[in-house]
Amino acid sequence: MENVNLKTIADKLHLSTATVSKALRDSHEISNETKQRVLHLASVLNYVPNPYASSLRKRVSKTIAIVIPEVDDSFFAEAINGIEAIVQGKGYHVLIYLTHESFEKEKAIFMDFQSGRVDGVLLSVSAETVSTHHISNLQSHQIPIVVFDRICDEISTAKVCTDDYNAGYTATKHLIDNGYRKIAYLSISKTLSISGKRMKGYSQALTDNNIPVKEAYIVECTLNDEYNNAVIRNLLQSKSRPDAIIASVERLTTNIYLVCQHLQLKIPKDIAVISFSNLKTAAILNPSLTTITQPAYEMGKTAASLLFKSIEKKSFPLDTVVQLFPSVLIPRDSTIKK
Partner DNA sequence: GTGAAAGCGCTAACAA
Partner DNA sequence: TTGTTAGCGCTTTCAC
Where does this chain bind DNA (CB under 7 A)? 3, 5-7, 14-19, 21-25, 28-31, 33-34, 49-50, 53-54, 56-59
93 is a contact residue toward its own copies (CB under 8 A): yes
* Distance between CA atoms of residues 244 and 231, nearest Å: 15
Helix H segments across 178-279? Answer: 193-208, 225-237, 252-263
Partners of 322 in the β-ladder: 159
Partners of 121 in the β-ladder: 65, 145
Could you report how far apart the first and last alpha carbons of the chain are, in Å? Answer: 70
* Distance between CA atoms of residues 285 and 279, nearest Å: 10
Nearer to its own copies, 43 or 315 (CB): 43
81 is a contact residue toward its own copies (CB under 8 A): yes
28 binds, among DNA, its own copies, none (CB under 5 to 8 A by kind): DNA
15 binds, among its own copies, DNA, none (CB under 5 to 8 A by kind): DNA
Number of alpha carbons in the 13 Å side-chain half-sphere of residue 207: 8
Nearer to its own copies, 24 or 213 (CB): 24
Smallest distance from its own copies to CB 212, Å? 31
* Distance between CA atoms of residues 290 and 302, nearest Å: 26
Closest CA to 123 of 167, 160, 164, 163: 160
* Distance between CA atoms of residues 305 and 146, nearest Å: 10
Residue of the chain from 32, 43, 115, 210 that contacts its own copies (CB under 8 A): 115
Residue of the chain from 285, 292, 303, 311 that contacts its own copies (CB under 8 A): 285
Burial class (CB within 10 angstroms; exposed 0-12, middle 13-18, buried 19+) of 239: exposed
Nearer to its own copies, 10 or 66 (CB): 66
* Distance between CA atoms of residues 16 and 281, nearest Å: 60
Smallest distance from DNA to CB 16, Å? 3
Binding span for its own copies by CB under 8 A among 8-16, 202-210, 247-255, 318-326: 247-255
50 is a contact residue toward its own copies (CB under 8 A): yes
Residue of the chain from 18, 130, 230, 284 that contacts its own copies (CB under 8 A): 284
Smallest distance from DNA to CB 236, Å? 55
* Distance between CA atoms of residues 123 and 200, nearest Å: 23
182 is a contact residue toward its own copies (CB under 8 A): no
Contact criterion met (CB below 8 Å) for 138 and 123: no
Closest CA to 302 of 290, 294, 313, 291: 294
97 is a contact residue toward its own copies (CB under 8 A): yes
Residue of the chain from 27, 36, 114, 234 that contacts its own copies (CB under 8 A): 114
Q: Where do contacts with its own copies occur on this chain (CB under 8 A)?
A: 1, 3, 46, 48-53, 55-56, 61, 63, 66, 70-74, 77-78, 80-81, 84, 93-98, 111-112, 114-117, 140-141, 251, 253-254, 257-258, 261, 279-281, 283-288
